Amino acid sequence: MQVITLCGSTKFKAQFREAEASLTLSGHIVLSVGFFEQSDGIEITE
């Protein structure tokens, strides 16, 4: 078992979810993005 951190652009939500599932089912602990503002079309303003 390893602790694996996924990082990258939030426009790749499907790929993040696929990698998370695969790695988790392989017995790893996965740290990943929890908010996909780009792929979900959420505009962040101050």
Tens digits of per-residue pLDDT, 1-46? 999 999 988 888 899 999 999 999 999 999 998 877 767 666 777 7
Residue 34: per-residue pLDDT: 81
30 backbone dihedrals φ, ψ, rounded to 5°:
-115, 125
Per domain, the residue ranges of the chain are 1-41
DSSP percent split of the chain into helix, strand, coil, nearest 5: 30, 15, 60
pTM of the model: 0.74
Residue 38: per-residue pLDDT: 66
Residue 35: per-residue pLDDT: 78
Residue 30: per-residue pLDDT: 97
SS3 5: strand
